[in-house]
Amino acid sequence: MRSSTQFPVGSSVDGTINEPSEQPAGAVSRRSFLAAGAAVGAGASLGSLEKATSAFADRRKPRKLSKGDEAILRFLSAAEILETDLWQQYNELGGIQDSEVPGGSGSPAYTKALEVLDEDMPQYIHDNTEDEFTHFTFINAYLESRGGEPVDLSPFRTLEGSRASGAQDVPRLTNLKELTVDTTWFTRYRSDSKNPDLGDSFRQAVPGLAEGSFPAIPRDDNDLMPEKHIQAIANTAGFHFATIEQGGTSLYPSLAQRVSDPEVLRVLLSIGPTEAMHFQTWSDKAGNAPPLVDPTNKLEFPDLNAPPFDTEEFQTNLIMPEPAPFLKRSFPIVSIVRPTNTEGAAMGAAAFLTAEKLFQGQSKAFFEALKQLAKEADAAKPKP
Amino acid at 292: L
CA distance 209 to 219: 17
Q: What is the pLDDT along the chain (384 residues), one digit of tens a residue?
A: 434 334 333 444 344 566 554 444 444 444 344 443 333 333 333 344 444 434 444 445 779 999 999 999 999 999 999 999 999 999 999 999 999 999 999 999 999 999 999 999 999 999 999 999 999 999 999 999 999 999 999 999 999 999 999 999 999 999 999 999 999 999 999 999 999 999 999 999 999 999 999 999 999 999 999 999 999 999 999 999 999 999 999 999 999 999 999 999 999 999 999 999 999 999 999 999 999 999 999 999 999 988 888 888 888 998 999 999 999 999 999 999 999 999 999 999 999 999 999 999 999 999 999 999 999 999 999 988
Instruction: With residue 369 as reference, give the H or E element that holds it.
Output: helix 364-378
- Residue-level length of the chain: 384
360: left (phi over 0), alpha (psi -120 to 50) or beta: beta
- The confidence score (pLDDT) of residue 16 equals 53
Which helix (H) or strand (E) element contains residue 293? strand 292-293
H or E, element range at 292: strand 292-293
**Region at 104 (left for phi over 0; alpha for psi -120 to 50; beta for the rest):** left
**Comparing C-alpha atoms, which of 26, 37, 63, 113 is closest to residue 288?**
113
The one-letter amino acid at 104? G
Residue 249 corresponds to which amino acid? T
What pLDDT, on the 0 to 100 scale, is given for residue 17? 64
DSSP state of 333: P
**Any residues with CB less than 8 A from the CB of 309 and at least 6 apart, and which?**
302, 303
pTM: 0.87
Extract long-range pairs of 269-275: CB within 8 Å, 24+ residues apart: 271/76, 271/135, 271/138, 271/139, 272/248, 274/131, 274/135, 275/1, 275/245, 275/248, 275/249, 275/251
Phi, psi dihedrals of residue 26, rounded to the nearest 5° = 75, 40
Domain boundaries, the chain: 30-35+62-378
Q: What confidence score (pLDDT) does residue 18 get?
A: 62
